[in-house]
Structure 1
Amino acid sequence: MRRLWGRLSSVNVQKAVWGLEELGLPYERVEAGGAFGRVRDPDYVALNPNSLVPVMEEDDFVLWESNAILRYLARGHGDGLLWPENPREAALVDQWLDWQATRFTPSTRDAFWQTVRTPPENRDQAVIDRSVAASEECAALLDAHLMGRAYLVGERFTAADIAVGAAAHRWLHLDVPRIERPTLRSWYERLAARPASSVALPPLS
């Protein structure tokens, strides 16, 4: 039995769902977080004391932190489908997972919250501008890295593309002025064409 707790509007839940779908693993997703609540309930806190989503239960094993879930799925299932056997390529996947968590997603967070989840009359344009500027730095780095590459690591799709692709989905759909970066856009469209991504990446909300 595999259960994933979390609402699909969360970029962190999206990563876990995308990994599960790519690997063809059966799972049940339970709505939690945001308007669905539950994350402060004692039974949920017993699973994740941070009161955040996602959480994955697999029989008697409980795991939280989205990139930890993604790593576990990619390393343990699919016979290397999402995780390279080459140790240096595997380290590069780890590098991009960490970059997504520490740089790319944090840079977009304020612009996302201000433009998607804050009423127009309450938005702070200065906060949006700072977030967009930080996001553009990340987008430029990503665009430069992808030149001449189909995917982030090696010659094939990996867990790195899932994590960074989910963050790129958010960035590229924000209603903000944005520098068009054709290489980044082409990579994202390649990911968006994958059937698993259509399950994992709904419109922003």
Structure 2
Amino acid sequence: MLKIWGRKNSNNVRKVLWCAEELGLPYERIDAGGAFGVVNDPAFRAKNPNGLVPLIEDGDFLLWESNAIVRYLCARHGEGSLLPDLLTQRASADRWMDWMSTSFVDPFRTVFWGLVRTSEAERDLPAIQAAVARCNELLAIPARALETQPFLSGERLGMGDIPLGSFIYGWFEMPIERQPRPALEAWYERLKQRRAYRDGVMTELT
């Protein structure tokens, strides 16, 4: 059985859990990271030298890095569903996955850690406000794409939706000022209608 190492409140672990749920894969999740520790244990480091979550074990195969895991699971189990059929569609999905990691993650992390994982007395409000503004600016890009199609992956949900979709939950549920993005909001509402999204992503923000 597929093993997924990582705590449920990790945004990167959420990607893998949602992907596995969408694909209907049986899996065992093992708490690791954050308050659970484990990631610095020699046995874990032997599997993942980065000492981060998520990590999967698929039989004898070990894989870390959340986007790589999503791509692997989709390639192995998602043909005809999460894995786009055409090369151009796969390239477009890869583009959204990489954009999420290279552009959106850093300012989002400042907001998330500042509001969710930092006490009110210790918050750097100017940094948080600047990061919120940057996130609002960046989200105009996927919002524009979603004006002409229901999902980032096209007419149906695909792997290109998973990275941003896993983080957008926090964006919409945190107490922040969001610029109106009707297409993005409608996409989020479509995601929330999916049982796999609710089970894999919509857990408590901590």
> What TM-score range do you get, normalising by the shorter chain?
over 0.9
Letter in 2 for 1:203: E
The residue aligned with 1:204 is 205
The residue aligned with 1:117 is 117
Letter in 2 for 1:191: L
Of 32-41 and 76-85, more deviation after overlay is shown by: 76-85
Equivalent residue runs for 1:24-173 within 5 Å: 24-173=24-173
State the 1:90 CA deviation. 0.5
State the 1:101 CA deviation. 1.1
Indicate whether 1:2 and 2:2 are aligned.
yes
State the 1:78 CA deviation. 3.0
- Over residues 55-112 of structure 1, what are the superposed CA-to-partner deviations in whole Å (9 max), with x where a residue is unaligned? 0001110000000000000011133310112000010010001011111222210111
Separation in 1, partners of 2:19, 2:90 = 16
Structure 2 spans left out of the alignment, 5+ residues: none
The residue aligned with 2:20 is 20
Letter in 1 for 2:181: R
User: What number of residue pairs does the alignment pair up?
Assistant: 205
- Over residues 171-193 of structure 1, what are the superposed CA-to-partner deviations in whole Å (9 max), with x where a residue is unaligned? 11121111121111110110111
Separation in 1, partners of 2:153, 2:5 = 29
Q: Which runs of structure 1 show a deviation greater than 2 angstroms over 4 or more consecutive aligned residues?
A: none
Letter in 1 for 2:158: T
Separation in 1, partners of 2:124, 2:99 = 27
In the alignment, is the contact (CA less than 8 A) between 2:97 and 2:163 conserved in 1? Answer: yes
Letter in 2 for 1:39: V
In the alignment, is the contact (CA less than 8 A) between 2:79 and 2:85 conserved in 1? Answer: no
Letter in 1 for 2:109: R
Structure 1 spans left out of the alignment, 5+ residues: none
In the alignment, is the contact (CA less than 8 A) between 2:153 and 2:159 conserved in 1? Answer: no
Separation in 2, partners of 1:59, 1:139 = 38
TM-score by length of 2: 0.96
Separation in 1, partners of 2:80, 2:47 = 28
Tell me how large the CA RMSD over aligned residues is.
Answer: 1.0
SS at match of 2:81: coil
In the alignment, is the contact (CA less than 8 A) between 2:13 and 2:54 conserved in 1? Answer: yes
